[in-house]
Amino acid sequence: NAGVTQTPKFQVLKTGQSMTLQCAQDMNHEYMSWYRQDPGMGLRLIHYSVGAGITDQGEVPNGYNVSRSTTEDFPLRLLSAAPSQTSVYFCASSLGGSGNTIYFGEGSWLTVV
Amino acid sequence: AQSVTQLGSHVSVSEGALVLLRCNYSSSVPPYLFWYVQYPNQGLQLLLKYTSAATLVKGINGFEAEFKKSETSFHLTKPSAHMSDAAEYFCAVSDVYQGAQKLVFGQGTRLTINP
């Protein structure tokens, strides 16, 4: 009953460091995405993927990379962390299609100092 | 493009009182609407969703929401608040972004329950 699993849950980075947030889902969903949550702004789409080998940019992609080598995994890479990337990151998956439920992971709290 | 507005970033009610969280949407097509709840330091959990079937949608934990097309609203209600309902609530509308599904979220409403 895992659903969407994200690691790590908490991370502190220094400015300029790189890191990868891991995301895996076991529901055989084709569609996966990454959002960031900032106070008073709801969630904003960073990158998304509609299937293995296919990724595209969302609304706020700068400073992030993604890849989708398998249906299950969708890691998010911070290339050179900046304080503006301090946020809560959520991975999500769904079957795709406008009416389908999007399932979210537990979130990753990232602080860049 | 779709958009969502949640009226009131903070709502406070007494235990046992009615909970009403407001959500208005803007959509050029019949919308799919969602309410998610986020408990402290946790992820988002789906409360309920509207997908053009019944206009009154019942969700988990005693919550329900009514879709009103004439008012472009999808307000969330619960007749009697419990302490465990304290959380942040997000209204969202489904949109298509470059051919793929995405959710457009409101700013969120933090619900506080007073004993």
Q: Tens digits of per-residue pLDDT, B50-102? A: 987 788 999 999 999 999 999 999 999 999 999 999 999 999 998 776 667 78
Q: Is the pLDDT of residue A75 over 80?
A: yes
Considering only residues 27 to 46 of chain A, which have any Cβ-Cβ distance to chain B shorter than 8 Å? 31, 33, 40-45
Chain B residue numbers with beta carbons less than 8 Å from the beta carbon of A106 are: 42-43
**How many residues would you count in chain A?**
113
What is the pLDDT averaged over residues A6-22?
97
Q: Among B4, B42, B103, select the one facing A102 at the smallest CB separation.
A: B103
- B9 to chain A: nearest residue by CA? A40
Chain B residue numbers with beta carbons less than 8 Å from the beta carbon of A29 are: none
Quote the minimal CA–CA distance from B32 to chain A in Å.
6
What is the reported pLDDT for B2? Answer: 81
Chain B residue numbers with beta carbons less than 8 Å from the beta carbon of A107 are: 41-43
For testing the chain A interface, which of B28, B47, B103 should be mutated: the one with the most A CBs within 10 Å? B103
Contacts of B107 (CB under 8 A, 6+ apart): A40, A41, A42, B5, B6, B9
Tens of pLDDT, residue by residue over B7-22, are 999 999 999 999 999 9
CB of A101 less than 8 A from some CB of B? yes
Note whether B105 contacts A94, CB cutoff 8 Å: no
Q: Among B98, B102, B106, select the one facing A42 at the smallest CB separation.
A: B106
What is the pLDDT averaged over residues A80-102?
91
What is the reported pLDDT for B39? Answer: 92
- DSSP for B17-53, please give it: SPEEEEEEEE-SS---EEEEEE-TT--EEEEEEE-SS
What is the reported pLDDT for A57? Answer: 92
Q: Is the pLDDT of residue B111 over 70?
A: yes
Tens of pLDDT, residue by residue over A16-74, are 999 999 999 999 999 999 999 998 888 899 999 999 999 999 889 999 999 999 999 99
What is the reported pLDDT for B98? Answer: 66
Tell me the pLDDT of chain B averaged across its residues: 91
* Predicted confidence band of residue A82 (pLDDT cuts 50, 70, 90): very high
What is the reported pLDDT for B27? Answer: 81
Task: For residues A36 and A45, give the distance between their C-alpha atoms in angstroms, rounded to a whole number.
Answer: 7
* Number of Cβ within a 10 Å radius of residue B50: 22
**Which residue is it, tokens 């080598």?**
A69
What is the pLDDT averaged over residues B103-107?
89
Quote the minimal CA–CA distance from A84 to chain B in Å.
19
What is the reported pLDDT for A1? Answer: 62
Beta strands at A87-94 and A31-37: parallel, antiparallel or unpaired: antiparallel
* Predicted confidence band of residue A98 (pLDDT cuts 50, 70, 90): confident
Identify the weakest region by mean pLDDT among A5-19, A78-92, B52-66: B52-66
What is the pLDDT averaged over residues A80-107?
91
CB of A103 less than 8 A from some CB of B? yes
What is the reported pLDDT for B1? Answer: 74
